[in-house]
Amino acid sequence: MNIGIIGAGFVGRTVGKLAVKAGHQVMISNSRGPKSMYSLPYAIGCTLGTVQEAVDFADIVLLAIPLYAYRDLPALLVAGKLVVDACNYYPDRDGHIPELDKQEITSSALLALHFNQSRIVKAFNAITMNDLDADGLPPVSPNRRALPIAGDKEEDKALIGRLYEQFGFDVVDAGRLAAGRNFEPGTPSYCKRLPRNELASVLAEG
């Protein structure tokens, strides 16, 4: 699978590294251009491109940017693409967004309104990248860590769920995209090391 990543920070680099290790083709991009990431191909085995090149290359697009930066991306940039939302809302970094502060909408729904010709799946946001890199285990391992996922199309969640599994994690389907609020920052499941049954119980409690 071709995975285009927008964002060359810790999230983009870690997911890219694990995806390459799992046999996928990865192109990483950022707002500053390929020259700013010259060492990444040697470090993790990816290729580099502009944001547009990464989107054109991709079967799926991983959005691994600070939430506030989504406004800088044209709405039509990822039209028709499956977009993985790995973003989180941190007011100290992103500035206050009133509808998020009032919990009138989720951060993923905000992205879905902006990228309204794309399919959005929320994933890779509820684990630190150190843990994503270190905690993966084979499927038969006891107490294998589980990660949550949310989205409106079952086939999209199944596709991204396979990445979780390839990276060494069990999958807990939290439900439709709106259910992503149950594993945003500050929730009981956010960045907690839990096996599948426990994570499912915590998510069910809202």
- 7-29 pLDDT tens trace: 999 999 999 999 999 999 999 99
Question: How far is it, in rounded angstroms, from Cα 50 to Cα 179?
Answer: 32
Assign 95 a pLDDT band (cuts: 50, 70, 90).
Answer: very high
The pLDDT, as a whole number, for residue 143 is 87
pLDDT of the residue at 205: 87
Q: What is the reported pLDDT for 129?
A: 97
pLDDT digits (tens, 9 = 90+) for 101-159: 999 999 999 999 999 999 999 999 999 999 999 999 999 898 899 999 999 999 999 99
Q: What is residue 19's predicted lDDT score, i.e. its pLDDT?
A: 98
- Per-residue 3-state assignment (H helix, E strand, C coil) for 143-177: CCEEEEEEECCHHHHHHHHHHHHHHCCEEEEEECH
pLDDT band at 63 (very low <50, low <70, confident <90, very high): very high
Residue-wise pLDDT tens digits, 24-62: 999 999 999 999 999 999 999 999 999 999 999 999 999
Contact 126, 96 (CB under 8 A): no
